[in-house]
Amino acid sequence: MGEKHLYVEYYIYKGYEAAKDEFLKAVSAFFSFYTNSQISRFGMRYINNINISETNPTDWTNYISGNLLSIFKLKEEGEEIARAFHIFASRKNGFNLTFQYGMHNADYPAAVKKKEFILDYDVYVQGAQGESDIKQNIDTYHDFIVSKFEGSIKDGLRRKMDNE
């Protein structure tokens, strides 16, 4: 928590219900202390960093929806990809989505060597909101992100996730 923000960050995610419960406790504590406050931006963000040990680091056809892989078609014969990343922004039902996805490549500007793909979903509302607004909308934002995630992956990745 800072002067202008409150956030809860997880490095080990134990599931939505546990995260929601902890977050709403922090929100309730905030509003009980700052009784006349309003939040000017409320959001939820999931960053999924997918790492797979395979030899072809840019072949995601078994794991990621083809709708997200068009950037790899830009590569010409003999060309090595150093980074391939997209940003998609949209609005739906009064809330915003910033969806960033692709291969960021921590070794940039070197060619991609590791099979890593990022799916980063940030759903938020800009505008005054109280505690009841947050409690009312948190499930909607989570469900929207889950829907986007499920539409972004294929059964090959689901099987890998189930085996871990």
| Confidence at 85, pLDDT banded by 50, 70, 90 | very high
CATH 3.30.2030 applies to domain 39-163: yes
Are 84 and 103 in contact, with CB atoms under 8 Å apart?
A: yes
100 sits in which H/E element: strand 95-103
Give the domain ranges of the chain.
Answer: 39-163
Are 71 and 84 in contact, with CB atoms under 8 Å apart?
A: yes
How many other C-beta atoms can be found within 10 angstroms of the C-beta atom of residue 137?
A: 19
25 sits in which H/E element: helix 16-33
Residue type, 145: I
The residue-averaged pLDDT of 80-90 equals 96
The residue-averaged pLDDT of 32-45 equals 88
The residue-averaged pLDDT of 60-65 equals 97
What pLDDT shows up at residue 110? 96
Are 114 and 53 in contact, with CB atoms under 8 Å apart?
A: no
The residue-averaged pLDDT of 14-29 equals 92
What pLDDT shows up at residue 14? 87
Are 128 and 36 in contact, with CB atoms under 8 Å apart?
A: no
**pLDDT tens digits for 108-164?**
999 999 999 999 999 999 888 889 999 999 999 999 999 999 999 999 999 988 886
What pLDDT shows up at residue 1? 47
Tell me what the pLDDT averaged over the chain comes to.
91
Are 130 and 39 in contact, with CB atoms under 8 Å apart?
A: yes
| Confidence at 9, pLDDT banded by 50, 70, 90 | confident
Residue type, 19: A
Are 63 and 156 in contact, with CB atoms under 8 Å apart?
A: yes
Q: What is the C-alpha separation between 62 and 85, in angstroms, rounded?
A: 19
